Structure 1
């Protein structure tokens, strides 16, 4: 399939439209700390009494995607790694995967899928997401270890009300999208007074294979349900809280991967205390448990299904236990905070052939990670300059069990399993993070600077993936990878500089950044004789179609770039807004580019905002990416520009009807970070990037009482 840009025609049409909905309409207070340190995208309709803070408006100009990562990717510096309707990842300033800390309701947990079919935002249906919070540039040490930024999806929940009488709270959202014949419905029902709150949430989503200008992308249908209950008891200035959620993903296509999702059954439990225990002394305690049970295969959805000899079904489990304690002395604006946290992960992955009971391989045999961390963080000011200074230390111990291999498994995997069993399968590392963020409120202008040192311990897959497979935590590039017991932690040195310039009718927030990453983890050839099959690893990979497998190893890298979001209201009813992002990634040890870095991109919107009726259009454009990794045989991508239309009518207080058209000109395009198709029966050729959705309409209803 050949993609040809029609960007000039789409851009002209957008200009002629003259009205559009804002990409990131803003209500900001530059003197608020959170306005400087975080971006927040509001997703669902908010209650009329919700507090106002640094929030970006709902993405009203688009059909809400099932994958919340698509919404997070609209932030400055963001891009989507598209691996299917429910498996997308956020790429932030050139870094993705486990380098970006992902959480739901502030809870950390491990992906259950060995290839990250369930990254964190997989568990955040868009119709239930209240807001998505993104730490600008660098995550503070209080949020735990992470190499890049941090994203948190906060689901809707019942809020305390005033008075003794129990008040009912209801939020509803429903949407239909024609391009994939999908629907999503979800909501919240709760009761609350000043002391108690209790709520239930539920959502159901289903979609079929989506259409694109040249046909249908087969194997992209999806099904997901989520339901849960939460409660809180407020005593004095503190709250005791608890919540439980169950997420059930049914058969869902993931065409960039060798296998499709059969199910994810995942339970979330979280509880604790938060509030003040004395004058200007706040305590936060939290315990959490997440249990993921997963199955994927190439029989249920994949077309055509694999023949019996190559049939595969993989079963995976992941359990995460967390505990956190934070003690803050002072106010929200000026304080000193101490904290400690524990995170224990236990994973097991077994590959089977459903037609042969003697074929099974423990690809990740009881791999475990135990992390203990502690931090100290100070926020305050000196002579008009505000600071957030923090440091943390983490000690991580990782180990793996002995893999079991069935009698029907060929000799080469059995040899590798025996070699792995005889190796020292325990590793430990101590990492140190330090972050300084400073800003100087000067009226409408707020200059800011960030300096940081951040580290990341290798993942369990990168460390203990003894069997050559395509598992790569979502790279979905068709390469076969194997782990490396001797990996060192990644170390990033980060500098960022920017300013916020904001008034009642304008805002401009540019940032330039540089990241130097030592011991960056990337796939390199398993030995010096590339293409010559002379090792068990290469023999196994060659039998599976890749005679040049890669081993995760440490290299040196650097990334730099700039991003900005902006808004201007030339008229009281007309708002122009958008974001622009550019990042460049290079290897420092050889003359090559970093792998899978998004090209320069732009979102440009204009909107006519009436009292009850609004309408507009949005342009989404990306340059072609020709700065690709030759070492990894990465192919270039073409530029594109896509236009969408939008209208919104407020039926009454808290009730709205919205509708729109996506990809108005039926542009044929494929984002650079889209995964590559593996489904032979699809209209998309095997090996091509998954194209963007074609022209389609959508309608949405939302209500909050």
Structure 2
């Protein structure tokens, strides 16, 4: 009922926008416009500064507009997603999975609950309901949490300041092949002192057909609604309270169960004060509470497979409650800026399960894990000379985890020898980076060295059946992961040509890897530590050619090797994107060619917290086209065809098809959608 009510509200708002009043002027800093009418359809993102990507997630993009955070991140070179069907893929940066990537929504931690990461954090993020996506690659910031060896991702909402009483209404609607139907609403009202903002979306799709015409179980239906209420006594001060909720369901061709509940409830409070005189320049603090209630079953969106591992109806209900906060002070002088603060987070994971349809509802909740973390950080930007900069930061985290499981072992539970035990670790992180602008040229180069230590997360401590040899289980034996990485690169920003390249090389001590097959070839899930080396690079160029043409391209490569010479499992293959766009200010058109190489550096017996390496994969090339028409300064219509030539292909990072949907016992990757047409209308009033 909640989802239907939301859809009705969004539809009514979109249909009434043609009669809305003009938007009044807004004070600074203002909430960014919902639609950047000067931009063509986004096919890739480029860095705006050293190792930092900033983009507007509401812009039209290709492939078809994203249904979740992981899908949107794929437009950034270096990112990929482990696929399992139509939605809720798991984001991957430079071949690194899980909590090596720090994922924040509204500057609060949002954690999934499924032991197999069916509902990773990005499953609960609707990109178009956020104003800004900021990415920092590598261990090159300490401001937003420790352990982020791969990088930090922040989906942010801006403050809608008003310098006069007014109302803003923005929205979009998307329709596409395979029954895809999305609506987004962003409404704000206020005056110079107070404001209220509502962001809501609904996204749905049926099963898609791959390039060979085969139906892939992949349907989903999800919705989100968030409201914020703020007090702005002056343009530099805000006190905001927020509340949010959402739910959905999704079919998974690559899993033994489907997700039939993705319930999210969020509360937030933030205070910001900027523009202060003296050494203290700004104050920022926030509190958040996020609750996730997730249900998996094998009977709501499919029929149980009588020949499979789960022949009868069964369901599992898991929940993850997260509470946290952050406070930071910004200081500044003539040639330096310093940010310093503290953050903390606690979380509790609980579960219940039962055989039979909906029988889990009669079972009591059992808490199986508790986590606590507290950290202090400081980051300095020192302007050595007009064209030379030194950026450095350090933080220390104290992390604790408690095992509350009475038994372990999955289908054949055994008494848990670590019941009631707790682990605590002190985890340091630091980095230093030198940046220099080349005199007389629009060129900057940088070199940075970073180190971070990461506590094993819930999925690494509690999901495996076994731990390292000699350990009672993964909780008792898996050690923190420590990464030391060198990042180098340069960026050229000329009048007609922009180009960039970034490269990295790192050593991961006690890298956490999963064994999915034992020495006898039997299926298992054992987590253990092993040292590893990683390296790779990303590069891009954009050329403003003659007339209204823009040509571009990006390249991304990641490589990893475990001690002993084994390939690091599930590394994404070499990928290139070539794009061409034409834009005369009213009409625009573009094309995107995505070329992915074959991957033969694999370790089929190994994997990570997300899943098993499925072995070698073939390369492929996919060609897509798009176009857009600026109806006026407030409306834009965009359309595209993804996979124009209906190529039948599968991503290397993937899950194996489940037997309940007729897939064979030998691992077969889930194939991607065939030819897909889409149309998206953006409006702003």
The answer to whether 1:80 aligns with 2:81 is yes
Q: Is the 8 A contact 1:592 1:631 kept in 2?
A: no
Q: Residue 423 of structure 2 corresponds to which residue in structure 1?
A: 427
Residue 130 of structure 1, CA deviation: 2.9
In structure 1, what is the equivalent of residue 173 of structure 2? 174
Q: Is the 8 A contact 1:372 1:395 kept in 2?
A: yes
What corresponds to 1:138 in structure 2?
139
| Pair 1:221–1:678, CA change in 2 (3 A) | same
For the structure 1 residues 640 and 272, does the alpha-carbon distance in structure 2 shift closer, same or farther, using more than 3 Å as the test? Answer: same
Which residue of structure 2 lines up, in the alignment, with residue 598 of structure 1? Answer: 572
Displacement of 1:284 in angstroms is 1.0
CA gap 1:332/1:569 in 2 versus in 1, 3 angstroms: farther
8 Å Cα contact 2:41/2:638 also seen in 1 = no
Name the count of aligned residue pairs: 627
Which residue is 1:196 aligned to?
A: 194
* Contact 2:220–2:250 (Cα < 8 Å) also in 1: yes
Query: Of 229, 232, 253, which aligns to 1:231?
Result: 229
> Does 2:523 match 1:503?
no
Q: Is the 8 A contact 2:268 2:289 kept in 1?
A: yes
1:651 positional shift? 0.3
- Cα 1:695–1:372 change in 2 (3 A) is same
What is the distance in 2 between the residues matched to 1:244 and 1:405? 37
Q: Determine whether 1:35 maps to 2:49.
A: yes
Correspondence list, 1:91-490, <5 A: 91-145=92-146, 146-155=148-157, 159-162=160-163, 165-178=164-177, 180-236=178-234, 237-249=236-248, 251-276=249-274, 278-281=277-280, 282-305=282-305, 310-330=312-332, 334-354=336-356, 365-383=367-385, 384-403=387-406, 412-413=412-413, 416-421=414-419, 425-442=421-438, 443-465=441-463, 467=465, 483-490=474-481
CA contact (8 A) 2:253 2:661 kept: no
2:16 is aligned to none
Q: Match for 1:663 among 622, 634, 643?
A: 643
Contact 1:70 1:80 (C-alpha < 8 Å) held by counterparts: yes
Contact 2:192 2:233 survives alignment (8 Å): no
TM-score by length of 2: 0.86
Q: Is the 8 A contact 2:348 2:369 kept in 1?
A: yes
Cα distance between partner residues in 1 of 2:617 and 2:665:
16
Contact 2:171 2:684 in 1 (8 A): yes
**d(CA) in 2 for partners of 1:223 and 1:161?**
35
For 1:358 and 1:566, the matched residues in 2 are separated by 54
Q: CA deviation at 1:138?
A: 3.1
| Contact 1:41/1:72 (8 A) holds in 2 | no
Cross-structure match for 2:65: 64
Matched residues in 2 for 1:290 and 1:139: separation?
27
Once residues 215 and 473 of structure 2 are traced to their aligned partners in structure 1, the CA distance between those partners, rounded to angstroms, is 30
CA RMSD of aligned residues (A): 2.8
* 1:459 CA drift (Å): 1.0
Q: Specify the alignment match of 1:620 in structure 2.
A: 594
Residues 304-341 of structure 1: per-residue CA shift (max 9 Å, x gap): 55588543211111100001111111179831222111
| 8 Å contact from structure 1 (residues 206, 221) kept in 2 | yes
**Of 504, 507, 515, the match for 1:524:** 515
Distance 1:486 1:700 in 2: 50
Instruction: Find 1:641's aligned residue among 602, 605, 621.
Output: 621
Q: Is the 8 A contact 1:613 1:647 kept in 2?
A: yes
- TM-score, length basis structure 1: 0.84
Cα displacement (A) at 1:105: 1.7
**Deviation at residue 205 of structure 1 after TM alignment:** 1.3
The answer as to whether partners of 1:522 and 1:553 remain within 8 angstroms in 2 is: yes
Q: Deviations over 1:278-324 (max 9, x none)?
A: 53421111110001111101111134555885432111111000011
Q: Using the alignment, how far apart are the partners of 1:380 and 1:688 within structure 2? A: 52
The secondary structure found in structure 1 opposite 2:492 is strand
Cα distance in 1 for residues equivalent to 2:54 and 2:661: 40
Alpha-carbon distance change, 359 to 119 in structure 1, aligned in 2, over 3 angstroms: closer
Cα distance change, pair 207–25 in 1 and its aligned pair in 2 (3 A): closer
Q: CA offset at residue 462 of structure 1?
A: 1.7
In 2, Cα distance between the equivalents of 1:258 and 1:368? Answer: 27
- Secondary structure of the residue that 2:214 maps to in structure 1? strand
- 2:523 counterpart SS class: coil
Within the candidate set 565, 572, 593, 2:547 is matched to 572
Whole-angstrom distance in 2 between the partners of 1:526 and 1:24? 37
Deviation at 1:189, TM superposition (A): 0.9
Deviation at 1:501, TM superposition (A): 0.5
Of stretches 181-190 and 132-141 in structure 1, the one that deviates more from structure 2 is 132-141
Q: Which runs of 5 or more structure 1 residues have no equivalent in the other structure?
A: 1-19, 29-33, 45-57, 470-480, 532-545
